[in-house]
Amino acid sequence: MKHSYNIKILVFLLFLILLWDYLNSGIIIKQKLFPQVLEDDNDDKKISIFILAGQSNMVGRGGVINKVWDKFVPPECSSDPRIIRVNENSELEIAKEPLHAGLDHPSKTCGVGPGMAFANAILKKVPNFGTIILVPSAFGGSSVSEWASSNSSLREKMINRTNQAVRYGGKIRGLLWYQGETDTQSEWNMRNFPGEYHKFIHILYKELLHPRVPFIQVALASGQGKSDLLERVRAAQLGMEDIITVDAMGLAVKSDGFHLTTMAQVHLGNMLADAFLKSYI
C-alpha cells in the first residue's frame, strides 16, 4: 500500500516537472542560448532586439556574382555567441553570414549585408552591451507599397517574428531600414513613394506597439531607373522627420549598378552602429 502511494507521488511530481518545462519553454531556450544574462535576468538591457527590413541591399548581395556567393566573410562580419538571429522557422540560432539565408526570395542568392557588421561594431564599441538578437526580415525587390498595404504579408511576417524574439526576453532597440531602389523604376512608383513610406511607418509603429523604437533608414546609394527618379526618392527619404538617416551615397556599388559590394556593406554596418549608439547613449 505504501509502495503504491510512493509511485503515485513520483508520477505526480514528474507531471509537475513536465508542465513547468512546457510553460517556461522560452526561459529554458534563453538559458541555453544566453548564459551570460542569467546573472541579472531582470535587466532587459542585457538582450537587445534589432529588426532588419527593406529590400535586397539590406538582405545583402555582397560577394554574389552570377547568383553565386563567394563565401568571403570579412572579420567585421564574423559570428559571435552574443549575436543571435531569428531564422526562417522563428527559432533562435547563432547568427552568421549570409544573415538572410532562408528568408529572401527563393530565386535570389543571399550574400553579405550590413547586419552582422552592425552588431559586431556595437559589441566592439560597447563591450558590455549584452546579447543582440537580429530579426532579418528584408525581401529582395520589394516596393514600399508592398510593406505599407493593409494586408502586407512582408510586414506581417516581420511583426510576427519580432514578437517571437520578444518572447525570449529583451527589448526592441531599433529597426534598420534600407529600401527604395524598386521605387526608382517608374514615375508612378516614385510619385507614390512619399505617401506610402509615411503610411508604412505609421502602421509599423501601431503594430509593433513600441512607439519609441528608433527607426534608422538608409538613404539610397543607387537606383534601378533614371537618375532623376533616384534623386527624387532620395529627397523624400532625406526629408523624413523624426527618424534617423544614414546616407549610403558614395559607397562602392557592384558592377550590376545598384547592389553594394561586400566591403561597402561592412562600412554601412559601421555607419548604422554609430547612428544607433548616438541615439542610445
Average pLDDT over residues 82-108: 96
pLDDT at 26 over 90: no
**Between 221 and 38, whose confidence is greater?**
221
Q: What is the phi/psi pair of residue 27, to 5°? A: -65, -40
CA dist., res. 193 & res. 195, Å (int): 6
What is the predicted pLDDT for the residue at 170?
A: 87
The confidence band for 151, taking pLDDT boundaries of 50, 70 and 90, is very high
Q: Are residues 17 and 128 in the same domain?
A: no
CA dist., res. 76 & res. 167, Å (int): 29
Split into its structural domains, the chain has a count of 2
- For a pLDDT cut of 90, what percent of the chain falls above it? 77
What is the predicted pLDDT for the residue at 235?
A: 96
Q: Are residues 6 and 101 in the same domain?
A: no
| Catalytic positions | 56, 256, 259
Per the listing, cell 549585408 goes with: 113
pLDDT at 34 over 60: no
Q: Are residues 14 and 131 in the same domain?
A: no
Per the listing, cell 541615439 goes with: 279
Domain that holds residue 130: 35-280
Q: Are residues 26 and 128 in the same domain?
A: no
What is the predicted pLDDT for the residue at 88?
A: 94
Q: Are residues 168 and 272 in the same domain?
A: yes
Q: Are residues 141 and 217 in the same domain?
A: yes
Q: Are residues 22 and 137 in the same domain?
A: no
What is the predicted pLDDT for the residue at 61?
A: 98
Report the CATH number at residue 235.
3.40.50.1110
